[in-house]
Amino acid sequence: ELGRFERELATAERLRAELERLEPATTAAEEALDQRRADHASRVAAREREAELVDAAQRRAEAGLAEEIAAATAYLARLTPTYAALRAAKGRAIDRRFSSR
């Protein structure tokens, strides 16, 4: 029974020594993994911020375009009656010219 206990104790000591030997590598691997996770989170945050900036720029561009379209539409609405009046005046001038002959 004592021999078995001594073998188990020796095995436990070998395992403890192996664990102590592996612990620095495990710690280093965990730290490297934590750093990779932090780097990834930073890249994701940067991409999200870039997407937000692009969205904001697109919204500003769309708003500017909508303003330009509204201004052009209003300008066209003001010009249409003027154009119609000019065409009518031209038609009357042509009619007077040919009717006087």
- Report the chain's mean pLDDT, rounded to a whole number: 95
Using a cut of 0.75, tell me whether the model's pTM lies above it: no
Residue type present at position 19: L
Q: Assign 1 to helix, strand or coil.
A: coil
What average pLDDT does the segment 27-47 reach?
98
Retrieve residue 36's tokens: 């990779």
The CA distance from 58 to 64, in Å, is 10
Retrieve residue 4's tokens: 């078995």
What confidence category does residue 96 fall into, taking pLDDT thresholds of 50, 70 and 90? Answer: confident
